[in-house]
Amino acid sequence: MKDIEIYLRYDLRCPDWATPRGELYAAALDQCAWADNLGLDAILISEHHGADDGYLPAPMVFAAAVAARTKRIRIRLAALVLPLHDPVQAAEQLAVLDVVSGGRLEVVVAAGYVPSEFDMFGVPMDKRGARLERYVEVMRGLWQGKRFDYEGRHVRLGLKPLQPNGPRIILAGGSPISAKRAARVGDGYMPVFPRLWKIYAEECARLGREPGGPPPSNAPSFLHLSEDPDKSWEAIGPHAMHDMNAYGAWAEEAGLEGLYRHTNSTDEVRATGMYQVMTPETCIDLVREGRVRGSLVFHPLMGGLSPEIAKESLELLEQRVWPRLRGSDMHERGSRPAGE
């Protein structure tokens, strides 16, 4: 069966009517420890600011907690809205995080797209692309031990990351400009739309560079395993609708057309195909037949979803899907069921 990576993703949205925030965060850390023990490939941690539902605004803080609860799984910030951060301070915090995690950190950076976030931090949005490129340069220089002047300040980093020259910096984006920027300054590219990978690869070839991974995935943004998908969707639907509409509101604010938009019913959300609830057998078939490539991303607490509902999916992943994808030797490590 074609090799595929499996990730857990967290943004920790928590609308008032969903799981209490403290319970949600505790469950997320328990799930990360479970994923580490089972042998999953990476934890993805996202960032946004000023959201009414508490969307994770401090991904490096949460990533440090994940690092403390795990030993081998990769920790990928995906994505850090870099123009909203001071690059010197970000370089310091990421260096500490790399050391704390034992060199397991990967950093995906994005230019950002939500105007209200830039207003909140007093950052001019029209300069975000240039800032992103300059900030990547500053962080790399600091991680390599360089001393230099930055905006009239003499800067240096006393603590180096554990990884030589620092963590990989992967660029994310949803436009041809972002693809070409990633080819120039990134160690890889994470496109919003898989079709952008071709532009990235062509630009890399023009510049004499090899495209960096991970390769783009065409997997759904949310995947849940269930013995009875229709029944599970009844509980998941309101959370998916909240997630879709919240992202859709940001897209509308930014004047973007893309994957997310306002929807009026859970049936409408389900029809988009972005939120998939399927049996373990269907999931295995997707991989075996090559209809999903690159990675499968489980977002177990999407939209403040109950940890008990998430547990159903993660246990089926462990018991029915994981052994088929990676072999029974991985399954026999003795991991405890998610949430226990």
Q: Are residues 103 and 144 in the same domain?
A: yes
Residue 118 pLDDT: 98
pLDDT of the residue at 137: 97
Token pair 């007093």: residue = 122
Q: Which of 125, 149, 167 is the last residue of a domain?
A: 167
pLDDT in the model for residue 339: 47
- Tell whether 202 is covered by a domain: no
Tell whether 334 is covered by a domain: yes
> Do residue 241 and residue 329 come from a single domain?
yes
Domain-embedded: residue 193: no
How many domains does the chain contain in total?
2
Structural domain includes residue 192:
no
User: Domain check: are 98 and 83 in the same one?
Assistant: yes
Q: What is the DSSP letter of 139?
A: H
Q: For the chain, which residues score pLDDT lower than 70?
A: 1-2, 327-340
**Which domain, by its residues, includes 81?**
41-167
Residues 36 and 52 in one domain: no
Task: Judge whether 48 and 117 are in contact, CB under 8 Å.
Answer: yes
Are 307 and 285 within one domain?
A: yes
The answer to whether residue 200 is domain-embedded is no
User: 30 and 67: one domain?
Assistant: no
CATH number at 112 reads 3.20.20.30
User: Which DSSP string do the residues of 53-68 spell out, in sequence order?
Assistant: T---S-HHHHHHHHHH
Please indicate, yes or no, if residue 199 is contained in any of the structural domains: no
Q: Is residue 141 part of a domain?
A: yes
- Statement to judge: residues 11 and 48 lie in one domain: no
Q: Are residues 71 and 85 in the same domain?
A: yes
Residues 224 and 283 in one domain: yes
pLDDT reported for residue 327: 65
CA–centroid distance for 277 within its chain = 20
Distances (CA, A) of 265 to 234, 240, 244, 260: 12, 10, 11, 14
State whether 45 and 129 are in the same domain.
yes
